[in-house]
Chains A and B, each alone.
Chain A
Amino acid sequence: MCYNELLSMFRENLVHIPFLTDKILLFQYGGSAVYGNPLVNVFANVPILNFILAAIFWRPLFAMLFIPGLVAIMLVLGIIIWLERKMTAKVQWRYGPLEVSRPIGGIIQPLADGMRYLFQEVIVHGEAHRPYFLQFPLISFLPVLLPILVIPAGAIYAIRTPYAIPIAIALVALIPIVLIAIGWASNSKYAYIGSMREVFMYFAYEIAMIIAAMAMVVAYGSGDAFVIVQKQSLIPGILINPFACLVFFVATAMATARFPFEIPDADSEVVFGPFVEYTGIIFGVVMTLAYEKLYILSLLLSILFLGGWNGPYIVWLGDLSPAIWLFIKAFVLVVIFVFFRTVYGRYRLDQAVRAGWSSLLALSFVSLGVGVCIASAGWF
């Protein structure tokens, strides 16, 4: 039966996490060992629940839902928005959000903000293209979540393909299109200017970013994330090809509108650009878009240059251990990007585009040359 086939398919490919999906040795008594029942097996005979549990711990779905997928993204969002405000406040001689939950340093402030957004009125102004205006913020989740399919986190992965890195970058490149569509649906002058800025920035960073990523793919000889990470077990990619890392780093800052390239949604110039007409929870959704993109690109950055999920294996975490190493690396990168808010203003659009087409592009070609050299020398 379909149900049973599916169940057995799930069960064959479960993530190995002690306590949850693996048998664990409780104690040894004489010659015989007593094993504890993992969570999945406890409910093995309960009809619906076993199916749900097996599905959740099924590798591809676990990757999508938990790590590096949805839950990890939400975790990053929840912490980083708070951490960003807290760090900025510290540098700026203030305390930052504190009042919502004083004993734990106001960490639930993003939650409170989310609540406020949730109950705020959503205004769709008369000039806007109503269906698209409301749809696009939700559609925008597609290109954010799809790259997760091909970005593996150690043993937790959805699809293993030799084209993982190119596919991920191609999918990430879809996000600006959604942003431009958002600006178009808003039908206002500031949203128009903001979308145009987004378009220009898109052209400024995308080519350099792709070339830098390809330089690393050439150097490693494969676009498969597993191969890439495995080849970095001794020396991380950043030491092999620092130019590519620099280009990818700057391009990420440009792509996610982080400072000093916070140009498309410059609040004092074009009042959040494409998002100028959004209110309420929809604004909350589109506002988190840049953070989600930042997280995805940080995952890629850490896989390509920082050795991905390489790190000491922690036995009692099982499959989660490499995933958590990847998450930590990506999170640190996100924090670094976010920290730039405190030290930089923003460049002008033409300066950013000029930088993208001159120094960044030149540097990316240099990095491609280095990549080819490495590949032909066969260091990896």
Chain B
Amino acid sequence: MPGIYRIKVPSPDFPRRVKGHLEAIGTGLKELIVPNRVTTQYPRERRKLSDNFRGMLQYDIDKCISCFQCAFACPANAIVMKKAPNGKYYPCVNYAKCIFCHFCVDVCSKGAWKASKFMDVAFPDMEEMLLTTEKLLRPPEVEREDERSVEYEFRAGKLIMKKHPFEDITQAGKD
């Protein structure tokens, strides 16, 4: 059973207020002199994503058995099954609807869906956002400006922005 922790709301008197002002200004000055930056400069640097990152989907047509389960489970109705010339049904993904929940990845018992680390994608128009099966299979065009990736690490409560060299994000996350 948790205990009760009753806090006292301070009502600072005059010397305490002066101290508060000085402390606030002191903290500001300290940060001004020794800045602790946490932001990354996005197009030049990119945050290192964890291996289980839920990015765009990668599809492996050879493993798919057209079981329709991914389309059935998709919460956003982003997956539609389209009939291919060979008579089988294959999924298409509408990225206008997809919410990157990766239920489809977890649903597919054959492992036909895989996650990738792409997340900053641009489509020319709304129609393009519907990736048909052929488009899904085609490797995406990658244009990158970044030279390094940044990883947040901590040592004894201090943030260390670890810089990694150019990271390959075209590969699917590890299984």
Spell out A's residues near B (CB within 8 Å). 87, 90-95, 98, 339, 342-344
Asked whether A91 lies within 8 Å of B32 as measured between CB atoms, the reply is: yes
For A93, give its contact among B25, B28, B37 (CB under 8 Å): B37
Asked whether A94 lies within 8 Å of B39 as measured between CB atoms, the reply is: yes
B27 surroundings in chain A (CB, below 8 A): 343
Query: Interface centre among A87, A94, A339, A343, by most B CB within 10 Å?
Result: A343
If the complex has contacts A95-B37, A95-B39, A95-B41, are A90 and B24 also in contact, measured as CB distance less than 8 A?
A: no
B36 contacts the other chain (Cβ, under 8 Å)?
yes
Asked whether B39 lies within 8 Å of A90 as measured between CB atoms, the reply is: no
If the complex has contacts A339-B28, A343-B24, A343-B28, are A93 and B41 also in contact, measured as CB distance less than 8 A?
A: no
Asked whether B31 lies within 8 Å of A344 as measured between CB atoms, the reply is: no
Q: How far is the CA of A95 from the CA of B25 in the complex (A)?
A: 20
- Tell me the minimal C-beta distance from A338 to chain B in angstroms: 12
If the complex has contacts A87-B32, A339-B32, are A93 and B24 also in contact, measured as CB distance less than 8 A?
A: no
Asked whether B37 lies within 8 Å of A94 as measured between CB atoms, the reply is: yes
Closest residue on chain A to residue B37 by CB atoms: A93
B31 surroundings in chain A (CB, below 8 A): 90-93, 342
- Tell me the minimal C-beta distance from B56 to chain A in angstroms: 27
Q: How far is the CA of A98 from the CA of B41 in the complex (A)?
A: 10
For A343, give its contact among B25, B35, B36, B37 (CB under 8 Å): B25
B35 surroundings in chain A (CB, below 8 A): 90-91, 93
- Tell me the minimal C-beta distance from A246 to chain B in angstroms: 12
A93 surroundings in chain B (CB, below 8 A): 31, 35-39
Q: How far is the CA of A119 from the CA of B37 in the complex (A)?
A: 34
Closest residue on chain B to residue A341 by CB atoms: B28
Closest residue on chain A to residue B33 by CB atoms: A90
B28 surroundings in chain A (CB, below 8 A): 91, 339, 342-343
Q: How far is the CA of A91 from the CA of B31 in the complex (A)?
A: 5
Spell out B's residues near A (CB within 8 Å). 24-25, 27-28, 31-32, 35-39, 41
A-B pairs with lowest CB-CB distance, top 4: A343-B28, A91-B31, A90-B35, A343-B24
- Tell me the minimal C-beta distance from A254 to chain B in angstroms: 16
Q: How far is the CA of A95 from the CA of B28 in the complex (A)?
A: 16
Q: How far is the CA of A98 from the CA of B27 in the complex (A)?
A: 24
B25 surroundings in chain A (CB, below 8 A): 343
B38 surroundings in chain A (CB, below 8 A): 93-94
If the complex has contacts A87-B32, A91-B32, A93-B36, are A344 and B24 also in contact, measured as CB distance less than 8 A?
A: yes
A343 surroundings in chain B (CB, below 8 A): 24-25, 27-28
Closest residue on chain B to residue A93 by CB atoms: B38
Q: How far is the CA of A87 from the CA of B28 in the complex (A)?
A: 10
- Tell me the minimal C-beta distance from A225 to chain B in angstroms: 30
Closest residue on chain B to residue A342 by CB atoms: B28
Q: How far is the CA of A93 from the CA of B39 in the complex (A)?
A: 7
Q: How far is the CA of A343 from the CA of B24 in the complex (A)?
A: 6
- Tell me the minimal C-beta distance from A327 to chain B in angstroms: 22
Q: How far is the CA of A344 from the CA of B32 in the complex (A)?
A: 15
If the complex has contacts A343-B24, A343-B27, A344-B24, are A90 and B32 also in contact, measured as CB distance less than 8 A?
A: yes
- Tell me the minimal C-beta distance from B12 to chain A in angstroms: 14
A98 surroundings in chain B (CB, below 8 A): 41
> Could you name 9 residue pairs across A and B whose Cβ atoms are closer than 8 Å?
A90-B31, A90-B37, A91-B28, A93-B36, A339-B28, A339-B32, A342-B31, A342-B32, A344-B24
- Tell me the minimal C-beta distance from B30 to chain A in angstroms: 9
Q: How far is the CA of A198 from the CA of B18 in the complex (A)?
A: 27
- Tell me the minimal C-beta distance from A109 to chain B in angstroms: 15
- Tell me the minimal C-beta distance from B154 to chain A in angstroms: 15
